[in-house]
Chains A and B, each alone.
Chain A
Amino acid sequence: MSQHPAIELVGIDKSFGAVHANKNINLKVEKGTIHGIIGENGAGKSTLMSIIYGFYQADRGEIRIDGKPLTIRDSQAAIAAGIGMVHQHFMLVENFTVLENIMLGAEGGQLLARGASGARRELKRLETDYGLDVDPDALIEDLPVGKQQRVEILKALYRSADILILDEPTGVLTPAEADHLFKVLKVLRDQGKTVILITHKLREIMAITDEVSVMRRGEMVATRKTADTTVEELAELMVGRRVLLRVEKGEAKPGEVRLSVKNLTVKDSRGVTMVDNVSFDVREGEIVGIAGVAGNGQSELLEAIAGIRKPAAGEILLDGQPIANADPARLRALGLAHIPEDRHHMGLVLKFSEYENAVLGYHRDSRYGQAGFLDLKAMQAEAVEKIAKYDIRPPNPLLKTANFSGGNQQKIVVAREIERDPRALIIGQPTRGVDIGAIEFIHRRIVDMRDAGKAVLLVSVELDEIRSLSDRILVMFAGKVVGEKTADAGEQTLGLMMAGIAA
């Protein structure tokens, strides 16, 4: 082809101290295509994109835009070169209007009034060209996440970006919002824009990209035409070994009811009813999955069962014993383990060492010390055991927890809760921000718990995860359980229920 690639990287190399984040990366992205970049967390995808966007300078190597070598010193230079970036965590000012956010950095003069009318007109044009409608005078904080993302895309287009980089764009979106995003991306491509999509979700790569490049441990290991590859091949390239994408598990053998929720109502801190008269049972030896779009009461339900939030009404029973008013320490003593949804806010103290987090919540136990003193040796010895058993890397119990990758942090939490041999286990988002190798491992553990006769309640916004792990699926919508399905229920059926359309 005579046409130059939209963007070409030649021998890009970047180290942060001892960490070699990008090793001799070569990449060609053709114009008018959607190019996926896939890799596990920490594979170096984000670093690479930050180099393209001028956040960091490469130690070596060259970036060519439209065939011309270019030094990108800062984001200003990247914008000038026609590169736009949609960050994973939106770079929006929440109490600004859409218009103000779009104008920020491209105000068109010292006075705002002068640029504003032009910006409005341009927004209108982008809206009709790409189907990206959004009210310019709405405040960002009032917009749903999907619309906020649209503002990010508009920001890039407003600066006349020809190359659009999206970093993990679907992480925060509902399935419907993600579908809409993909439609928008296709329109952009068809209008001649080049899209680079960074993700660790194989399904998205298969659904939307034309070409895909795989990164592993800082290296670009392969580039494939999406049509010529398979999910299995990509997964193997990502991890470097064969991966089981489906959890293999036998028939469940449910026994007695362990955990029982009766007419439970939970309100959030503003007094809004988030869980509305919900009842269900979890038996020993089964996994009950709760599906739903984030924010439909699952978090509050988990918190109520875990003893973090007091229910407004209703009962929670563990082995027939009421526990609705027990605190988390008492619940742990009774054999209810909790893997919280957000390991950073609830599961771990990131500034603590690994071994301290490995006993957190169980630190009053006599095996970790007597009379108010901690037995650090015993704690560390046990941490070393868990590290070996769960393959936590790096295998150093003294390392600060913040320095572990997301997957390894999650393993620390999972090991802590599972290794106490609880009677019942409640789990929120077990694999959020966790790489594919660790996902496989954590899923295996959860199934093992079931097979060992524990009652498992699983909440996840990843429908795939719910479907592959659960024996029964409850769907929550607007605080209510709108239906129960077996594990073989179709994705579409569940999706409609999650949207509150069918029961």
Chain B
Amino acid sequence: MEFYEIIISILGSTIRLSIPLLFTALAGLFTERAGVFDIGLEGKMLAAAFASACVAYLTGNAWLGLLGGIAVSILFSLIHGFASITNRGNQIVSGVALNFVAAGLTVVLGQAWFGQGGRTPQISGEARFSPITLPFADAMRDVPFIGPLYANVISGNNILTYLAFLAVPITWWVLFRTRFGLRLRAVGENPGAVDTAGISVTWLRYRAVIVAGFLCGFSGAYLSIAQSAAFIKDMSAGKGYIALAALIFAKWKPVPVMFACLLFGFLDAFANFMQGKAVPGIGEVPVQIFQALPYILTCILLAGFIGVARPPKAGGVPYTKER
């Protein structure tokens, strides 16, 4: 294959692999900025993927599928909120518990309802989000250099992909230009300041986890009814954790989050491409090396080699009024 075509192909799959990370990392951005650790992103994504696939299969409508995913994901968020905000439980424990619940429940319900070993039936047509061909994509295909990039990387993605990239500036705007964003950032740094300003810490944090649930709904739906055409057992495959790593890697900032997700998506795409191929001079590199890279990079970052990642100060700490 020609070199440029290889690059185009890797970039195309980079985009596809980055989208679930992007939605999920932005979800985590909202909760963690509000001072609630969200290790349960993985579970929310998985539950949403399952719900989307079920609803889309039953109704034959992808948008209803998406709504179903969002609803279930928000429900998971509310449980996390009830445990860790209202009852001041440990946020990590609550998140991990939700991950287990999602992993188990999706398979059990899937088997009970459809009897296909935890899968949902194949869906097609209107029940899926299909690729959209942007204007002039075919006409431009033959333009050197720009053409393939436009036709194969920028065009030809499903609607959720474009929404994911749209969510980045929206997140930035909400966080840094609105009252809600100011209060959200404040509550993650010093909830006492928010409380003494006469604002409810509890309600603010609930709103943050609800927004996270909303966004995880998109990432789940993307997995099962956009990228694939069915729910498959454990299909989130650790993407929730990689998204969390991307969030830390991006220092909890929206635009860097996008680049971190693209980087991690690229590593994933590159790993797929390198499978079974030999690197000149080294030989065949185990694909696990590339899969481990996001985590390794995050560890290096956390160790302080690439600047200092400063997490929201009140993260992980339930708020109690001090006496």
Are both chains from one complex?
yes
Residues of A within 8 A of B (CB): 16, 46-47, 50, 53, 55-56, 74-79, 85, 87, 89, 91-96, 100-101, 103-107, 109-113, 155
Most buried by A among B180, B185, B193, B199: B193
Alpha-carbon separation in the docked complex, A53 to B321 (Å): 13
Contact of A105 among B180, B190, B194 (CB under 8 A): B194
CB closest residue in chain B, given A113: B177
Residues of chain A within 8 A (CB-CB) of B177 are: 111-113
Q: Residues 300-323 of chain B: 1 if any A CB is under 8 Å from the residue's CB, otherwise 0?
A: 000000000010010000000101
Residues of chain A within 8 A (CB-CB) of B189 are: 93-96
The 19 listed contacts between A and B (C-beta, < 8 Å) are A47-B323, A53-B196, A79-B197, A79-B198, A87-B196, A89-B192, A91-B190, A91-B195, A93-B189, A94-B313, A96-B185, A101-B193, A103-B182, A104-B182, A104-B193, A107-B179, A110-B180, A111-B177, A113-B177
Q: Tell me if A75 and B195 are in contact (CB < 8 A).
A: yes
Residues of chain B within 8 A (CB-CB) of A107 are: 179, 182
Q: Is B122 an interface residue (CB 8 A)?
A: no
Q: Is B186 an interface residue (CB 8 A)?
A: yes
Closest chain-A Cβ to B215's Cβ sits at a distance in Å of 21
Q: Is B128 an interface residue (CB 8 A)?
A: no
Q: Is B183 an interface residue (CB 8 A)?
A: yes
Q: Residues 168-202 of chain B: 1 if any A CB is under 8 Å from the residue's CB, otherwise 0?
A: 00000000111111110110011011111111000
Residues of chain B within 8 A (CB-CB) of A55 are: 321
**6 more CB-based (< 8 A) A-B contacts, given A76-B198, A85-B196, A107-B179:** A89-B192, A93-B189, A105-B198, A107-B182, A111-B177, A112-B178
CB closest residue in chain A, given B189: A93
Q: Tell me if B179 and A75 are in contact (CB < 8 A).
A: no
Interface residues of chain B: helix, strand, loop or mixed (majority): helix
Q: Tell me if A75 and B197 are in contact (CB < 8 A).
A: yes
Residues of chain A within 8 A (CB-CB) of B193 are: 91-93, 101, 104
Alpha-carbon separation in the docked complex, A92 to B182 (Å): 13
Q: Count contacts between A and B, CB distance < 8 Å.
A: 77
Count of chain B residues near A, Cβ 8 A? 24
Q: Tell me if B197 and A105 are in contact (CB < 8 A).
A: yes
Closest chain-B Cβ to A336's Cβ sits at a distance in Å of 34
Contact of A91 among B179, B183, B196, B323 (CB under 8 A): B196
Alpha-carbon separation in the docked complex, A56 to B178 (Å): 30
CB closest residue in chain B, given A55: B321
Residues of chain A within 8 A (CB-CB) of B195 are: 75, 91
Q: Tell me if B323 and A92 are in contact (CB < 8 A).
A: no
Alpha-carbon separation in the docked complex, A47 to B321 (Å): 12
CB closest residue in chain B, given A80: B198
Closest chain-A Cβ to B211's Cβ sits at a distance in Å of 16
Q: Tell me if B182 and A112 are in contact (CB < 8 A).
A: yes
CB closest residue in chain B, given A89: B192
Q: Tell me if A100 and B182 are in contact (CB < 8 A).
A: yes
Q: Tell me if B190 and A111 are in contact (CB < 8 A).
A: no
Residues of chain A within 8 A (CB-CB) of B194 are: 104-105
Q: Tell me if B198 and A75 are in contact (CB < 8 A).
A: yes
Residues of chain A within 8 A (CB-CB) of B310 are: 95
Contact of B192 among A53, A91, A96 (CB under 8 A): A91
CB closest residue in chain A, given B322: A89
Residues of chain A within 8 A (CB-CB) of B181 are: 112
Alpha-carbon separation in the docked complex, A53 to B189 (Å): 22
Q: Tell me if A96 and B186 are in contact (CB < 8 A).
A: yes
Alpha-carbon separation in the docked complex, A259 to B159 (Å): 75
Alpha-carbon separation in the docked complex, A113 to B181 (Å): 12
Residues of chain B within 8 A (CB-CB) of A94 are: 189-190, 313
Alpha-carbon separation in the docked complex, A352 to B182 (Å): 39
Residues of chain A within 8 A (CB-CB) of B321 are: 55-56
Closest chain-B Cβ to A143's Cβ sits at a distance in Å of 15
Residues of chain B within 8 A (CB-CB) of A109 are: 179
Closest chain-B Cβ to A306's Cβ sits at a distance in Å of 28
Alpha-carbon separation in the docked complex, A76 to B200 (Å): 10
Contact of A92 among B178, B180, B190, B198 (CB under 8 A): B190
Closest chain-B Cβ to A186's Cβ sits at a distance in Å of 25
CB closest residue in chain A, given B187: A93
Q: Tell me if B199 and A105 are in contact (CB < 8 A).
A: yes
Alpha-carbon separation in the docked complex, A103 to B189 (Å): 16
CB closest residue in chain A, given B310: A95
Alpha-carbon separation in the docked complex, A46 to B321 (Å): 13
Q: Tell me if B196 and A75 are in contact (CB < 8 A).
A: yes
Closest chain-A Cβ to B85's Cβ sits at a distance in Å of 17
- Interface residues in B71-104 by Cβ distance below 8 A to A read none
Alpha-carbon separation in the docked complex, A77 to B198 (Å): 8
Top 7 A-B pairs, shortest CB-CB distance = A105-B197, A76-B198, A91-B193, A75-B198, A107-B179, A91-B196, A93-B189
Q: Tell me if B197 and A104 are in contact (CB < 8 A).
A: yes
Residues of chain A within 8 A (CB-CB) of B313 are: 94
Alpha-carbon separation in the docked complex, A488 to B27 (Å): 64
Contact of B197 among A16, A89, A106 (CB under 8 A): A106
Residues of chain A within 8 A (CB-CB) of B176 are: 112
CB closest residue in chain B, given A103: B182
Closest chain-B Cβ to A57's Cβ sits at a distance in Å of 12
Alpha-carbon separation in the docked complex, A242 to B183 (Å): 50
Alpha-carbon separation in the docked complex, A91 to B196 (Å): 7
Alpha-carbon separation in the docked complex, A109 to B313 (Å): 26
Most buried by A among B185, B189, B190, B321: B190
Q: Tell me if B198 and A110 are in contact (CB < 8 A).
A: no
Residues of chain B within 8 A (CB-CB) of A103 are: 182
Residues of chain A within 8 A (CB-CB) of B185 are: 93, 96
Alpha-carbon separation in the docked complex, A94 to B179 (Å): 18
Residues of chain B within 8 A (CB-CB) of A112 are: 176-179, 181-182
Most buried by A among B192, B194, B196, B321: B196
Residues of chain B within 8 A (CB-CB) of A92 are: 190, 193
Q: Tell me if A110 and B182 are in contact (CB < 8 A).
A: no
Residues of chain B within 8 A (CB-CB) of A50 are: 323
Closest chain-B Cβ to A71's Cβ sits at a distance in Å of 15
Closest chain-B Cβ to A404's Cβ sits at a distance in Å of 15
Contact of B179 among A56, A74, A111 (CB under 8 A): A111
Closest chain-B Cβ to A156's Cβ sits at a distance in Å of 10
CB closest residue in chain B, given A46: B323
Closest chain-B Cβ to A219's Cβ sits at a distance in Å of 18
Closest chain-A Cβ to B170's Cβ sits at a distance in Å of 14
Most buried by A among B179, B195, B310: B179
Residues of chain B within 8 A (CB-CB) of A16 are: 323
Closest chain-B Cβ to A76's Cβ sits at a distance in Å of 3
Closest chain-B Cβ to A103's Cβ sits at a distance in Å of 7
Q: Tell me if A104 and B183 are in contact (CB < 8 A).
A: yes
CB closest residue in chain A, given B180: A110
